[in-house]
Structure 1
Amino acid sequence: MDEPKTRAAKRAATAQQILEAAQFEFGEHGLEGTTVRSIARRAGVDPSLVIQHYGSKNDLFAIAIRLPGDSTGDDVAGHLFDVVDVRLGELPPETRALVRSMLTAPEARASMRDFLNERTANLARGGGEDAELRAALTVSSILGLTIARHFLGLDALAEISEQQVEKTVRPWITAALGDDVDQVPSR
């Protein structure tokens, strides 16, 4: 990769390097277990640059845990299958940081609650009776799957195969959606 040439480009590259280091540290150690020094060490910068770019550890945490927004569109089941595929694979660093810290850091709890409420509302749109409850249960189940696989190391989820995903996980999601989806094609 080419080195940034302008001062602004160098500053942006340093900020990105710090953010990526922070996401990794928060994902591994949570908000409380991460220090500005550990972030700086991982990023290969002086700790003062972390503060200069992001203000404080808490401000950096708020940025590091932002999850990318997405919409479900018309293919609700397809969207959920994609989400489960991501949750069964390697977690993005911002997701790992957020999930690890959501029970201990108010910022993470608020961010996760807002994210899950948005996902629930998107899934429940036009879904008929009990759509919001079914959507909330589906979203909560996927969160539980994420925690059980990546943080608790539940044996049954450690080496789940694509065949098991097709045979068990996809029908589970389809059933959770209820009457909202008539036929969900296999992938």
Structure 2
Amino acid sequence: MIVKARVNTHIKLYQYRKQVEYQSMTDQLTGIANRRRYERVSEQKWQEAIRLRVPFSICMMDIDHFKKYNDTFGHPAGDTVITAVSATAGRYLRRNTDFLARYGGEEFVVFMMGDSSRQAFEQMCRVRRAVEELHIPHSGSVSEWVTISAGGTTVLPKRGYSFDTFLKIADTMLYDAKRFGRNRVVWNDENMRQFSE
């Protein structure tokens, strides 16, 4: 009887620890991975791509003119938009080789393993179109709806390559997407050539 009670107590403690760990790695607003989980998973996925010798794509995306949206409609409406964008992206990034996390504020990070630059680019274009097709009104944006901009890069990682270098390239592509007018995807391929919608 005492052994059974101790086993049950250990099981409950284990379940509680797993729940606390899950919550500490999950964004409370959107239910997707948070920045902490991203930091843990990024290096694991990068090393896995090196070991498997498969292409690795990193994408940064954010909601266009989000501050204007918050100023116009308020923070609760802004939270609803962040949730809608993450849920929409999540519907397109469902494979176990895909990873989506909230990077901070209205910014998200995506990893895709095994896709060519063209495949990864086209997938993110589908995400961008799907967000615009939610038809969430936004008078202060580039269109009449809430839109996103995304920038990414695809690389065949090798030992000695730095994940952070390619994250910076993806961030530069996001900057270019905004500079070119927002509501678009800009990509850097395996040969360091840039293309966009």
Q: Normalised by the size of structure 2, how large is the TM-score? A: 0.26
| Structure showing the higher helix proportion among its residues | 1
